[in-house]
Amino acid sequence: MESVIYTLVRRDEWQAAEAEGAYRGSPDDRRDGFLHFSAAAQLRATAAKHRAGVADLLLVAVPTAPLGAALRWEAAGGGARQGLFPHLYATLPMTAVQRVVPLPLGADGLHIFPTEIP
């Protein structure tokens, strides 16, 4: 499917992961048993639904190839009509991360994404 997937992480959670050498997920991730990711086309809706108004948010880009069989594309809570989302059933090693960029809030309260995100 996608060659790069994305997750939205609060800055303090990411700083803790960097110190540890791996991202183990948000409280929601740990509750659900996997790390939640999105394809590029899913990011804006994901941010609006799950991270609305979060000012210290980071966009973490990860190539799918190094994730192997631990990465699964599955229906989310809304079912198949929302498409399949990438879920990682493992911790995310820092060595797998392609880049991390801040997602500031615009005047309208929505996150400002890099230009390559549709």
In this predicted structure, the answer to whether residue 82 has a pLDDT above a threshold of 70 is no
pLDDT digit string, tens, across residues 5-64: 999 999 999 999 999 999 999 999 999 999 999 999 999 999 999 999 999 999 999 999
For position 31, what pLDDT does the model report? Answer: 95
pLDDT digit string, tens, across residues 89-108: 999 999 999 999 999 999 99
**Domains of the chain as residue ranges with CATH:** 4-102 (3.20.170.20)
Quote the CA–CA distance of 6 and 32 in Å, as a whole number. 17
For position 87, what pLDDT does the model report? Answer: 96
Torsion on CA atoms 114, 78, 71, 32, rounded to nearest 10:
110
For position 81, what pLDDT does the model report? Answer: 52
